[in-house]
């Protein structure tokens, strides 16, 4: 009698065991699907961040080049620090390059004003097959904004006698007061390799 009851209990437990194992397998596959989606999303965000920074850094380099070209014309310096300069060219091609390097495609790249870029990208790869329907064709999107921030202000020299103004402008350039307590006392004869570099003149960082 005891042996029969033992076999009966074992028979009843087996379906429960199968149900529990099936549930655990389902949860495991569900977590895997979530992980796949998260990895794909992280890849999209990495690509968006890199693309936005690349576009902003290209603009920073152009502005730095414009500042060097106008080194002897301090009246144009503030405009350049504000993002206004002659000869600036589109920079979103750099965003496309960096997105491609991160296996993504740029959907949009916009200059938000003069010193900011917002880029939206989409991954080239899908999330992949999973228990969640539709993931085999699902691609992730992400957006990032990069900001160009001037590091320096201009310390204009005190005006001298009117008759000496032209001569004074030729001899002296304004001092650049930059972040970190760095002051650049410039001279028209300063060698190019001793002049401020793009990263000395502008910070580039993600908005968030």
Residue 198 located in a structural domain: no
pLDDT of residue 4: 53
Q: Tell me the C-alpha distance between 59 and 145, whole Å.
A: 14
Element (H, E) at 205: strand 202-206
Question: Could you give the number of structural domains in the chain?
Answer: 1
- The per-residue pLDDT for 60 is 97
Residue 71, Cβ density class (10 Å: 0-12 exposed, 13-18 middle, ≥19 buried): middle
| Residue 180 placed within a domain | no
- pLDDT confidence of residue 139: 86
Strands (E), 18-166: 104-111, 116-123, 141-150, 152-155
Identify whether 7 is part of a domain: yes
Q: Which residue carries 């691609």 as its tokens?
A: 139
Q: Which two tokens stand for residue 81?
A: 């620090």
Is residue 186, in this structure, part of any structural domain at all?
no
Could you list the pLDDT tens digit for every one of the 208 residues in the chain? 555 555 555 556 656 656 665 555 555 545 555 566 667 788 899 999 999 999 999 999 999 999 999 999 999 999 999 999 999 999 999 999 999 999 999 999 999 989 999 999 999 987 655 445 555 678 889 999 999 999 998 866 666 555 454 554 455 788 899 998 888 888 878 777 788 999 999 999 999 7
Q: Output the pLDDT for position 203.
A: 97
179 within some domain: no
* Segments forming the whole domain that contains residue 120: 2-147
What is the pLDDT at residue 133? 53
Q: Is 118 within the bounds of a domain?
A: yes
Asked whether residue 187 is assigned to any structural domain, the reply reads: no
Asked if residue 74 is part of any domain, the answer here is yes
Q: Render 82-109 in DSSP notation, one character per residue.
A: TT--TT----HHHHHHHHHHTTEEEEEE
Q: Give the number of other CB atoms < 10 A from CB of residue 53.
A: 23
Give the other-Cβ count within 10 Å of 83's Cβ.
19
């Amino acid at each position: 009698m005891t042996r029969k009851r033992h076999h009966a209990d074992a028979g009843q437990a087996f379906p429960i065991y199968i149900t529990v194992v099936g549930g655990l397998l389902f949860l495991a596959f569900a977590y895997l699907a979530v992980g796949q989606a998260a990895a794909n999303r992280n890849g999209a965000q990495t690509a968006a961040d890199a693309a936005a920074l690349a576009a902003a850094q290209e603009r920073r380099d152009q502005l730095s080049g414009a500042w060097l070209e106008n080194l002897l014309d301090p009246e144009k310096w503030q405009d350049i620090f504000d993002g206004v300069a002659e000869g600036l060219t589109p920079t979103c091609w750099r965003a496309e390059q960096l997105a491609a390097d991160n296996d993504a495609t740029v959907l949009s790249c916009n200059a938000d004003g003069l010193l900011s870029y917002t880029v939206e990208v989409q991954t080239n790869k899908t999330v992949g097959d999973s228990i969640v329907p539709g993931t085999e064709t699902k691609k992730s999107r992400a957006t990032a904004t990069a900001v160009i921030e001037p590091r320096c202000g201009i310390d204009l020299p005190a005006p001298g006698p009117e008759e000496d103004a032209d001569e004074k402008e030729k001899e002296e350039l304004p001092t650049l007061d930059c972040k970190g307590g760095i002051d650049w006392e410039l001279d028209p004869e300063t060698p190019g390799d001793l002049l401020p570099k793009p990263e000395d003149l502008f910070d580039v960082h993600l908005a968030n």
